Amino acid sequence: MTIVVKTMRQERGSATRDVILATAERLFAERGIHAVSNRQISEAAGQGNSAAVGYHFGTKADLVRAIARKHTDQMEQLRVTMVADAAGSTDVRDWVACLVRPFTGHLADLGSPTWYARFCVQVTSDPALHEIMIEQALTSASLQMLVVGLHQCLPGLPPSVRDERSVMARHLIAQICVERERALAEGALTLYPSWDDLAASLIDAIVGLWQATMTHRP
Amino acid sequence: MTIVVKTMRQERGSATRDVILATAERLFAERGIHAVSNRQISEAAGQGNSAAVGYHFGTKADLVRAIARKHTDQMEQLRVTMVADAAGSTDVRDWVACLVRPFTGHLADLGSPTWYARFCVQVTSDPALHEIMIEQALTSASLQMLVVGLHQCLPGLPPSVRDERSVMARHLIAQICVERERALAEGALTLYPSWDDLAASLIDAIVGLWQATMTHRP
């Protein structure tokens, strides 16, 4: 009997955590991570106790980390399969697809509206929270393999230019996804009929960017 | 005598406006446009009257427009010269340079730290303020000439792909400049030794992006 009660309590705790995570992600995306307090999240998540966020997650950085982790775990599954398929390829396009499609595919899987792209760009551009995204990237085995695969296709590119273009590709993916996510959320026009079309256009563009002639030696 | 008094008053008014513009731009960049009130700007600008911003500029959108206008006027001067030099060119690179260098050159001219790149991305991504940037772009004769020149170098590209890549190029310029601006403001490491190096790398990448093979027909 004690065990059953415990399990029900744990389930309730887990459901509460899920509601808090989803509410926080939405509020962060719509109003900005710094504009939203833990108390506001607790209230919007229907928690009687305004300290619920703190109780379940700790600090705001811990909450941000938990949201990021939930999504990166799901994207990792998509990426692992793609990277396995691309193994041994010397075509830049295959590796760029492994970079783009797990993100756009995940957004498509979530159904409309999504908030994750807007959440991501905020975390990435925040000096204090930025580390959380690096942490997530460093624990992704498939992302490490992707980077190795991509670099092997571009042997002539100096490491500093690789770093520059890698940052550019990341910004491009994030910003173009944010733009579509926001347009869908607001019922505005989007440039792309689907996440899949967006991915195809992005992959073309990023392949061009990686293969661009280097006129400038850093 | 009346005339002299009036002129001094006007000068004082103009100096007050300049201080308010500079203060608002800094606060917007550092804390977010929506997180900063007109009252806070008035106070930070050393105005005894907390309604000074409203008195000199009107609404927050009017203030944002005035900040944008000040910078776009200065960038327009740089772009007019560059576009005149590029006239008749069929090299994508010349037109991409006209897109990138007026922005990076302007940031370099302002001296460090700058706030304008961070201000720009906020305005561009805000559904309510976004129109202000479009307004500024539409009144720039040199920008219209640049677009025509660029399109003439890329006759095979369908209009929808041109639109997509144009949005991508804009995001790329804005985000890479924001990253350097923020790093300089925080005393952090930057990928680029100077705005000029950043411009050269961006131009290479954006030329690659524009010339990318189109595997996907929209």
CATH classification of the domain holding A54 = 1.10.10
Count of other CB atoms within 10 angstroms of residue B24? 27
CB contact under 8 A, A215 and B204: yes
User: Measured between CB atoms, which of B176, B200, B209 is closest to A205?
Assistant: B209
Whole-angstrom CA distances from A188 to A80, A101, A110, A185, B148 are 34, 23, 19, 8, 27
Higher pLDDT, A10 or B25: B25
Together in a domain, B40 and B14? yes
Place of tokens 């690096």: A134
What is the pTM (predicted TM-score) of this model? 0.92
Cβ-based contacts of A186 with chain B (< 8 Å) = 127
Q: Is the pLDDT of residue A174 over 50?
A: yes
The alpha carbon of residue A73 is apart from the nearest alpha carbon of chain B, in Å, by 27
pLDDT band at A159 (very low <50, low <70, confident <90, very high): very high
Which of A34, A58, A82 terminates a domain? The answer is A58
Model pLDDT for residues A52-90, shown as the tens digit of each residue: 999 999 999 999 999 999 999 999 999 999 999 999 999
Tell me: cis bond preceding A113? Omega within 30 of 0 counts: yes
Together in a domain, A35 and A134? no
Which of B13, B30, B58 terminates a domain? The answer is B58
Cα(first)–Cα(last) distance of chain B, in Å? 69
pLDDT attached to residue A29 = 94
Is-contact A214 A157, C-beta < 8 A?
yes
Whole-angstrom CA distances from A9 to A1, A22, B202 are 12, 20, 55
DSSP letter for A70, please: H
Would the CA dihedral through B90, B91, B96, B99 be positive or negative?
negative
How large a percentage of chain A has pLDDT more than 70? 96
Interface of A with B (CB under 8 A): 32, 34-35, 93, 125, 127, 160-161, 163-165, 167-168, 171-172, 175-176, 178-179, 182, 186, 188, 191-192, 197, 200-216, 218
Together in a domain, A89 and A190? yes
Q: What is the pLDDT along chain B (218 residues), one digit of tens a residue?
A: 455 555 777 777 789 999 999 999 999 999 889 889 999 999 999 998 989 999 999 999 999 999 999 999 999 999 999 999 999 999 999 999 999 999 999 999 999 999 999 999 999 988 889 999 999 999 999 999 999 999 999 999 999 999 999 999 999 999 999 999 999 999 999 999 999 999 999 999 999 999 999 997 65
pLDDT attached to residue B181 = 97
Would the CA dihedral through B103, B105, B109, B114 be positive or negative?
positive
Which of A58, A74, A96 terminates a domain? The answer is A58
Together in a domain, B48 and B73? no
Together in a domain, B81 and B121? yes
Residue B168, SS3 per DSSP = helix
Cite the DSSP H helix spans in A34-192: 38-44, 52-57, 60-86, 92-110, 116-125, 130-138, 141-153, 159-186
Cα(first)–Cα(last) distance of chain A, in Å? 69
Together in a domain, A125 and A177? yes
Residue B76 falls within a domain, yes or no? yes
Residue A188 falls within a domain, yes or no? yes
Number of domains, chain B: 2
Together in a domain, B89 and B137? yes
pLDDT attached to residue A165 = 97
Q: CATH number of the domain that A198 lies in?
A: 1.10.357.10
Q: What is the mean pLDDT of chain A?
A: 93
CB contact under 8 A, A205 and B191: no
pLDDT attached to residue B1 = 47
Residue B216 falls within a domain, yes or no? no
Together in a domain, A4 and A82? no
Interface ipTM: 0.92
pLDDT band at A9 (very low <50, low <70, confident <90, very high): confident
Together in a domain, A31 and A88? no
pLDDT attached to residue B127 = 81
Is-contact A204 B212, C-beta < 8 A?
yes
pLDDT attached to residue B200 = 97
Together in a domain, A14 and A34? yes
Mean pLDDT, residues A39-45 = 95
CB contact under 8 A, B216 and A207: no
> Residue A22's domain spans which residues?
1-58
Cβ-based contacts of A204 with chain B (< 8 Å) = 212-216
DSSP letter for A59, please: S
Residue A216 falls within a domain, yes or no? no
Nearest-angstrom CA–CA distance, B144 and B22: 29
The alpha carbon of residue A168 is apart from the nearest alpha carbon of chain B, in Å, by 7
Place of tokens 């550019």: A168
The alpha carbon of residue A180 is apart from the nearest alpha carbon of chain B, in Å, by 12
pLDDT attached to residue A218 = 58
Residue B189 falls within a domain, yes or no? yes
pLDDT attached to residue A158 = 95
Mean pLDDT, residues A172-195 = 95
Mean pLDDT, residues A30-46 = 92
Cβ-based contacts of A209 with chain B (< 8 Å) = 205-206, 208-209, 212
Together in a domain, A89 and A47? no
Residue B89 falls within a domain, yes or no? yes
Together in a domain, B48 and B65? no
Task: Name which of B101, B168, B181 to mutate to probe chain A: the one with the most chain A Cβ atoms within 10 A of its Cβ.
Answer: B168
pLDDT band at A1 (very low <50, low <70, confident <90, very high): very low
pLDDT attached to residue A196 = 97
Residues 6+ apart with CB under 8 A from B179: A167, A171, B190, B191
